[in-house]
Amino acid sequence: EQAGKGEFDHFMLKEIHEQPTALTQALEGRIDPEHGRIALADFEPGTFTDIESVQLIACGTSYHAALYGSLVLNQAGVHATALLANEYSVSSPPIDDDTLVIAVTQSGETADTLNALRQANAEGATTVTVTNVVGSTAAREADEALFIRAGPEIGVAATKTFSSQAVMLTLLGQRIAADLRGEPPADLETLLAELAAMPDAIAGLLEDSDADAIADRYANSQSYFFIGRGLGFSVALEGALKFKEITYEHAEGFASGELKHGPLALVTPETPVFAVFTGEEDEKTLKNAEEAQTRGAPVIAVCPAGHRAVDVADDHLEIPEMEADLAGLLANVQLQLVSYYAAELLGRPIDKPRNLAKSVTVE
């Protein structure tokens, strides 16, 4: 097993560091920045021309990627909703043959997600799975499969597959929007250039990250809160999930604006707040973070250098400048590292947290 980890102490840390390669593989042949186009040949031209609404179904970390994808679609003008696969049988919105259902599942074997996929198939939706595993049940049962090509992920806590799923959903979302409109998205060139720059941006971030020092400073707190807005909200949820999975400490993610509608009652000097800044109404998020800070909570801003949050926050974790669509993914890598180093300090079995399984094949 040690051989498989290479120079790293845990698979999780190795897989965090594999993200530049995973994204390069995911994007290979699928973007064409030189000619300013998405080259997603996984789907025939016009595949999505008749789609009226999109439902993304998933569980766990994949649900956070689905949430991210649903926002990318909404921002591109497509009706899209992310739904927990295990809630789908009791709460799915209406499905008809103009509905596209995207099952997001790293393993392609999660029972809850497969059940929802089967329901969507039975009700006449067009179905696509975004998965890491060729030949998985989801890949066989969905009408189409889009493979994220992240390579095997051994650590129970999903890391590189989240980034790859979110990037593939960004690409797929833009492709769907383009099929519906009959023309490419307005800011496609910037997006393609930034997608192409993502692997290097993550590699640089991994090299310079202060996440170990931040984990060291706050690892003895009572609870950990994560806030963000828009795409940053899905990152806040994922940051909290990762943290609780591997540290066994209490962590929650909130939409920044929700903090004052209840969670603020929990805030004390013992509850650090990680605030994710993705360029989506950052001023409001900063104000929400300051509300927690006034009640004594240390605020750790995850933002680019020179951002106003750096001066206000108690600490910060730096991310390279990117457009809103991708900044959240960079922030997420910093939060993965914080969780990892906090779990290491606490002596947790990082790759195999208690009570959790890599793939849950029962309902």
* Residues assigned a catalytic role: 358
- Which position among 53, 55, 62, 129 is part of the footprint of ligand G6P (CB under 6 A)? 62
Q: Is 339 in the site for ligand G6P (CB under 6 A)?
A: no
CB of 152 to ligand G6P, least distance (A): 12
* 193 vs 356, beta carbon nearer ligand G6P: 356
Binding to ligand G6P by residue 61, rule CB under 6 A?
yes
> Residue written as tokens 């189409």?
144
* 343 counts as binding ligand G6P under rule CB under 6 A: no
Does residue 206 touch ligand G6P according to CB under 6 A? no
Q: Does 23 bind ligand G6P (CB under 6 A)?
A: no
Output the DSSP codes for 172-239: HHHHHHHHHHTS--TTHHHHHHHHHHHHHHHHHHHHH--HHHHHHHHTT-SEEEEEE-THHHHHHHHH
- Given 60, 199, 263, 298, the residue binding ligand G6P (CB under 6 A): 60
* 113 scored as a contact of ligand G6P (CB under 6 A): yes
In which residue are the tokens 């795409």 written? 231
- Alpha helices (runs of H) in the chain, residue ranges in sequence order: 2-5, 11-17, 19-27, 60-75, 88-91, 111-122, 137-141, 160-181, 188-208, 211-218, 231-247, 282-294, 308-312, 324-345
Q: Which is nearer to ligand G6P, 59 or 205 (CB)?
A: 59
- Binding characters for ligand G6P, 155-194, by CB under 6 A (x = yes): -x-x------------------------------------
Classify residue 61 by burial, with Cβ atoms within 10 Å: 0-12, 13-18, 19+: buried
For residue 234, state whether it binds ligand G6P (rule: CB under 6 A). Answer: no
What region, left, alpha or beta, does residue 347 occupy, with left being phi > 0 and alpha being psi -120 to 50 degrees? left
Query: Considering only residues 26, 59, 82, 335, which one is a binding residue for ligand G6P as defined by CB under 6 A?
Result: 59
Q: In whole angstroms, what is the distance from residue 297 CA to residue 269 CA? A: 4
Site string for ligand G6P, 123-162 (x = CB under 6 A): ---------------------------------x-x----
Region of 69-77, 107-115, 202-210, 313-321 interacting with ligand G6P (CB under 6 A): 107-115
Residue whose CB is less far from ligand G6P, 69 or 320: 69
Nearest to ligand G6P of 130, 202 (CB atom): 130
If one asks whether residue 356 binds ligand G6P (CB under 6 A), the answer comes out as: yes
Q: With binding defined as CB under 6 A, does residue 105 bind ligand G6P?
A: yes
Q: How many CB atoms lie within 10 A of CB 6?
A: 11
Burial (0-12, 13-18, 19+ Cβ within 10 Å), 164: buried
Q: What is the distance between the alpha carbons of residues 134 and 184, in angstroms, rounded to a whole number?
A: 29
Q: Looking at beta carbons only, is 80 or 103 nearer to ligand G6P?
A: 103
Instruction: Give the interface with ligand G6P as residue ranges (CB under 6 A).
Output: 59-62, 105-107, 110, 113, 156, 158, 356-360
